Amino acid sequence: MSVLWGTLAVLLAIVWLVTVSDLVRRHLGRQRTIAWLLIVLILPFAGAILYWVLRKPEQAGGALQRPPSS
């Protein structure tokens, strides 16, 4: 049973780290980033799930896009 809890803890830590790194990487503005970081730090698993559910998809404005092939 302890292997199960250890695996679950590692998976939750990975989800938490990916969430924090995504928050820092995205340009949400200072206040929104700080607010989300506080939510994720205070409620680690629930905050991470909320962030991924409520997060808006990234715009592809900065990346070069290939023209459609015909």
Q: pLDDT tens digits, residue range 4-61?
A: 999 999 999 999 999 999 999 988 889 999 999 999 999 988 999 999 999 877 766 5
Phi/psi region, residue 29 (left: phi>0; alpha: psi -120 to 50; beta: rest), is left
Amino acid 67: pLDDT = 61
Residue 66 lies in a domain: no
Residue 63 belongs to a domain: no
Asked, for residue 7, whether it belongs to a domain, the answer is: yes
User: From CA 44, how far away is CA 55, in angstroms rounded?
Assistant: 16
- Tell me if the pTM is above 0.85: no
Give the total number of structural domains in the chain. Answer: 1
Which of 21, 30, 25 shows the shortest CA–CA distance to 58? 25
64 domain-assigned: no
The answer to the question of residue 70 being in a domain is no
Q: Is residue 20 in a domain?
A: yes
Range 38-45 contact pairs with CB under 8 angstroms and sequence separation of 24 or more: 40/16, 44/12, 44/16, 45/12, 45/15, 45/16
Domain region containing 15? 2-54
